[in-house]
Amino acid sequence: MTTTSSTIKLESVDYQHALPLKDVGGLASEGRRLGSHEGPRDADMGVRDSLPAPTTSTPVVESWKYPRSNLFRVAATFWSFLVCGANDAAYGALIPYLESYYKLDYIIVSLLFLSPFVGYVLSAIFNNWLHIKFGQRGIAVLCGACHLVAYIIVSQHPPYPVLVVVYVLAGFGNGIGDAAWNAFIGNLANANETLGFLHALYGVGGTISPLIATTMITEGGLEWYHFYYVMIGMSVVELVVCTAAFWKNTAASYHETTQTNNDDNTGLRAALFSRPYARVTWICAAFLLAYVGVEVSQTDDVGVFGSPLSNEYRLAAEHFNLSNAQVCELALQPIPSIFGGEAIQAQLREAMWKPEDHR
């Protein structure tokens, strides 16, 4: 047997050999893996690298203190609701004095109660158009201007028919301000609590209004229309403060907001005519129509029974209770869940939101 042998020579390989500068640059700039080849894929990656990063941040919900400009806006809406409450409570407080001044019976004088109703109806008709045309800035100007013009005319004690028409103007100002400021506060974080304070200020206005009017007439020996000098001063502050607070909220900014909100098909038409939104909208509208009408009429009507002085304190007490109830409600919010509030809410949702509504 013949045996053969061979010799194998091993050579070392230099792994520290540097790559060409061109390749290094390509790897550093394009981030390709080893073994990749230049081509259309690399061109696409270069285009993608030049695109901005996708936006993944969620929008920040505004609150009563963020941004800081909202502090001024919320305070302005509070003052506006104070004026609205003082306006509504003044009717009942002044009716006995209007009867004697104009020498009319109660039936004729009570026509004043229809004036704010007509004003509110007109505000409901034109409210959306005013927002589209002028934005919240226009609402702020128009609300304060309606109050101011109405109070200036009333302070001149015009003939009674003119008085009835002028109170329609005041009611219109109340209506557009009521709708706009409720919507503004309702879109903020912790809306329930902030709305509670907003309506508490309405009650405060209704509390002080009959007290001031009665004191000026009975203690100061003034005529009923002198009370509207106070209302003129309050409406001047309202006009200046609300206009300054919402000056940047133009029609353009309102269009941007409504365009964003309408992307989920929850606009006005959907709320009124599409189920299940329509069911909730019309039920709440019918309830509030009856509730607010009875509340305002009943509290204003108290002043015509008995002596005017004693009943104005009763009228002020009713509006104080309204304000007090709004504040107490904020402290008692956790209590309904203890007594089955969550179960009741679930039943209401089941009754108002049925699966077949979306078929």
* 86/265: higher pLDDT: 86
Determine the straight-line distance between the first and last CA of the chain, rounded to whole angstroms. 94
Verify that 143 and 181 share a domain, yes or no. Answer: yes
In a domain, 51, yes or no: no
Concatenating the DSSP letter of every residue in 6-24 gives ---------TTPPPPHHHH
- Does residue 293 form part of some domain? yes
- 120 and 240: one domain? yes
- Residue pointed to by tokens 């502090």: 71
Higher per-residue pLDDT: 118 or 46: 118
Angle 40-50/21-30 helices, nearest 10 degrees? Answer: 50
pLDDT for res 277? 74
Task: Examine residue 292 and state whether it is found in any structural domain, yes or no.
Answer: yes
* pLDDT over 70 at 311, yes or no: no
290 domain residue, yes or no: yes
Within 10 angstroms of residue 109's Cβ, the number of other Cβ atoms is 23
Same domain, 279 and 325: no
Token pair for 22 = 């061109």
Q: Is residue 138 domain-resident? A: yes
Specify the CATH number for the domain of residue 223: 1.20.1250.20
Contact 205, 199 (CB under 8 A): no
User: Is residue 15 included in any domain, yes or no?
Assistant: no
Residue 26 confidence class, pLDDT cut points 50, 70, 90: very low
Indicate the residue type of 164.
V
Selected residue with higher pLDDT from 353 and 99: 99
Ramachandran angles phi, psi of 68, nearest 5°: -60, -25
Cβ atoms of 166 and 113 closer than 8 Å: no
Burial class (CB in 10 A: 0-12, 13-18, 19+), 170: buried
- Local structure of 32: helix, strand or coil: coil
Rounded to whole angstroms, the Cα distance separating 45 from 50 reads 9
What's the pLDDT score for residue 201? 92
Q: Which residue has the higher pLDDT, 159 or 351?
A: 159
Higher model confidence: residue 332 or residue 103?
A: 103
Let me know whether 256 and 273 are in one domain: no
Question: Is the pLDDT reported for residue 28 higher than 50?
Answer: no
* Shared-domain flag, residues 161 and 249: yes
Number of domains, the chain: 3
- Looking at the fold, whether 159 and 172 belong to one and the same domain comes out as yes
One domain, residues 209 and 150: yes
Domain that includes residue 283, residue range:
266-302
Within 8 A by CB and 6+ apart from 29, the residues are: none
How far, in Å, CA of 311 to CA of 277, rounded? Answer: 43
Backbone angles phi, psi at 32, to 5 degrees: -80, 155
- What integer pLDDT is reported at residue 34 of this predicted model? 46
Instruction: With 0.85 as the threshold, say if the pTM is over it.
Output: no
Higher per-residue confidence, 239 vs 121: 239
Return the number of other C-beta atoms located less than 10 Å from residue 186's C-beta.
12
In a domain, 139, yes or no: yes
Tell me the three state secondary structure of residue 47: helix
Q: From residue 40, give the alpha-carbon distance in Å to each of 47, 48, 52.
A: 11, 12, 21
Q: What is the pLDDT of residues 239-284, one digit of tens each?
A: 999 999 999 999 998 888 777 655 544 566 776 777 777 888 888 8
Quick one: 229 and 126 in the same domain? Answer: yes
Is 270 found in the same domain as 250?
no
Question: What is the structure's pLDDT at 222?
Answer: 95
195 is a domain residue:
yes
Respond yes or no on whether the N-terminal peptide bond of residue 40 is cis (omega within 30° of 0). no
Amino acid at 236: V
Separation of alpha carbons 275 and 271, rounded Å? 8
Render pLDDT for 144-187 as a digit per residue (tens, 0 to 9): 999 999 999 999 999 999 999 999 999 999 999 999 999 999 99
Q: Do 206 and 87 belong together in one domain?
A: yes
User: Is 122 found in the same domain as 220?
Assistant: yes
